[in-house]
Amino acid sequence: MTTFSKTIKFPIINEAYEQPTGLFINNEYVAAKSGKTFKVTTPINEELLCELQEAGSEDVDYAVECASKAFKKWKFTKPEVRARLLYKVADLMDEKRDLLAKIESLDNGKSLVCAKFDVNLVVEYLRSCAGYCDKIDGRTINTGPEYLTYTKREPLGVCGAITPWNFPLLMFAWKIGPCLATGNTIVLKPASATPLSNLYAASLFKEAGFPDGVVNIIPGSGRACGSAILHHPKVKKVAFTGSTSVGKGVMKDAADSIKKVTLELGGKSPNIVFQDCDIEKTVQNLITGIFFNGGEVCCAGSRIYIQASDEEWYNEFLAKFKKAVEKIKVGNPFEEGVFQGAQTTPDQFQTVLDYVKIGKESHLKVLTGGNRIGKRGYFVEPTVFYDVPQSSRLTKEEIFGPVAVVLPFKSIEELIEKANDSEYGLASGIHTEDINKALYVADRLEAGSVWINTYNDLQQNSPFGGFKESGIGREMGAEALDNYTQIKLVRAKISTPTL
């Protein structure tokens, strides 16, 4: 594929692929100007996968210059041409979907089930963005017969993106899709822990025919590479997905050069169970809500509120939930039937174990789980604490792992107050057969997404983003395009014609 490549083998399935290891700038894989490299390991067994070129501030400068040069032409590329290129890269990803999912599982540790979900949404979202290319319209404004007044939505220029390690390829698509559809160019820094799928996908943009400099992927540290993107004067917008604490710093740094900023940040989302729910479906929705992707999901339904008006029903529901959780297969993503893979980084793995320890030392009741699995790799049992106080740290703080707390409630007013008692407001779930109750509660929840009788149900045409400290702006849907455009007013004075 390139002089900067390494053959990597997948475990168990006896397959291999060629992984690009250079920085992807101006449609080529190149060396870092500093000559520095960094190691990438797999959380499955902690083994070294490869060494990659490590981007620093000089590489950011080079990538931004290439993107800035490309923008001058890409901005005026016909919408139908941009659409064809996006459709083409989506088709190429569709053809490579199995390989992309395997790369994601190997690098991130997530199960193949989860990785395949990600890749499917990536493909459909890029196609959705392609369809929007010729629909980025302004409007005419009636200001009387003496003027022609209209607006245009124009691209911003070079956009920077800093993405997290929990959904490497999905966040890649969420930034690149609307950025390119609206006529911008991009410099994207993937998380150092999980850059492999992004670098591989970059080659598909070149194969699809995107011009030099339109897409640039530069793995590196947040301190050197990420900071350089945030402070670069030619970067006009930054999209960041990550923790709320880091997001606050991103906002401050971007303010130095008045960049447009969108932030998709943390969450501690309530997943609400009413007694009149469909029990079997609800139990599965709770599992999807917290254990999908190993719980490393910003919108994870980690606060489970269960109606406890009838104590017998409450206990029976808990028993069914416990039984279902204990059937979840945890292990190597390449093993048949695995739903929950490894936690992605050693630091996050330890953070999850530390929160479990806090729960146990606080004498919280353990419904199930609470232990490490094995001695190699970052595997944790799906864990549920129950009858947890609203004041508990495990209720208040984002754990970002396969750990949920169950809190009982007896009235709708009590529930709404507890559900909204959080600095976060990313998502929520409601499970009931009473549509009136569902809509009543949905209207009162402080959350960017409300899922009714489903959970983690992302769809490419539906906007996703948070309230409160869960972020600013929206990903996906028509709303995402607003993040990458600016409004220009054109007002022309019309004189009375003479012959």
Q: Is 264 a catalytic residue?
A: yes
Q: Is the dihedral of CA 107, 112, 114, 118 positive or negative?
A: positive
Triad 255, 261, 266: Cα angle to 5°: 110
d(CA 96, CA 326): 34
d(CA 332, CA 342): 7
How far from 246 is each of 168, 252, 258, 263, 470, CA to CA, in Å?
17, 10, 18, 10, 12
What token pair was written down for 295? Answer: 């719980």
How far from 324 is each of 41, 280, 384, 402, 460, CA to CA, in Å?
32, 10, 12, 14, 29
d(CA 382, CA 370): 7
Q: Are 302 and 268 contacting, i.e. CB atoms less than 8 angstroms apart?
A: yes
Q: Are 36 and 101 contacting, i.e. CB atoms less than 8 angstroms apart?
A: no
What is the helix, strand, coil percentage profile of the chain, to 5?
A: 40, 25, 35
Q: Which of 214, 171, 135 has the alpha carbon at shortest distance from 475?
A: 171
What token pair was written down for 394? Answer: 């495990």
User: What is the bridge-based pairing of β-strands 260-264 and 471-472?
Assistant: antiparallel
Where would I find the H helices in 133-215?
168-181, 196-208
In the chain, the amino acid numbered 291 is F
Q: Are 347 and 192 contacting, i.e. CB atoms less than 8 angstroms apart?
A: no
Radius of gyration of the chain measured on its C-alpha atoms: 24
Q: Are 183 and 488 contacting, i.e. CB atoms less than 8 angstroms apart?
A: no
Choosing from 264, 398, 469, 475, which is the catalytic residue? Answer: 264
User: What is the bridge-based pairing of β-strands 5-10 and 424-425?
Assistant: unpaired
Please identify every residue annotated as catalytic.
264
